[in-house]
Structure formats: C-alpha cells, structure tokens
Amino acid sequence: MDENFLELLQQIRNHFGKPMVVTSGYRHPDYNEKVSKTGRTGPHTKGQAVDVLITGKDAIKLFAIAQNLGMTGIGLNQRGPHNKRFIHMDNLPDIPGKQPRPHCWTY
C-alpha cells in the first residue's frame, strides 16, 4: 500500500472515531482486471484505494470526512444487502491535459 494513502486513511479513521472494515485494499492487476472497469491499472493496483464496509448514517458521515480531508475519488454503494454496501476511497491525482476524473460517484 502507498504510504501517503495510508497516512490519509488513518487521518480519516481518527476523525471518524470508529473502526473501518476494509473489504478490498491492494489488488493484483490480474484480479483487478476481472472485478473492475479500471482494468489492470486502477487505484487498487497502485495501493491507493480501499473499499470500506459501511451503511446508513455512518456511510454519509464517512463520505463527508473523506471528502473534507482530501480523498480525490469517493464511490458510494448503498444498494443491496447491508453486508455488501461500501464506500470506495482513493487519492489518485487528476492528470493535466486529460478529462478530469470523477471525484464522487455511486455504483
């Protein structure tokens, strides 16, 4: 995992004040290609992303904290069974000269 990403994640956890159950962190490019539209080069393959199991009001609170502390990519999935709901957080930068990446989205 990327050290700067982990430091930011710890800051978020400190502000959140509760444990955060990570369901997906680093992914090998082969595996990421099977499970994500980002293919072999997504943020999970760079150690700059996690998915955290969370629902309801806690999801909204964590979303706001992550946004305020500088996560640049936040995806919210709150559909389906509660044990499958999560927030994706990453800190990939925008690439100058290319279309800006989405900063917030839903699944």
Domains of the chain: 3-106 (3.30.1380.10)
**What's the predicted TM-score (pTM) here?**
0.91
User: How far is C-alpha 22 from the chain's CA centre?
Assistant: 10
Q: Report which DSSP code applies to 45.
A: G
pLDDT of residue 99: 67
pLDDT of residue 94: 78
Task: Return d(Cα 60, Cα 18) in angstroms, integer.
Answer: 14
Q: Which residues make Cβ contacts (< 8 Å) with residue 72, sequence separation at least 6?
A: 90, 91, 92, 93, 94, 101, 103
Q: Report how far apart, in Å, the C-alpha atoms of 20 and of each of 13, 26, 41, 62 are.
A: 7, 16, 25, 10
Binned at pLDDT 50, 70 and 90, residue 72 comes out as very high
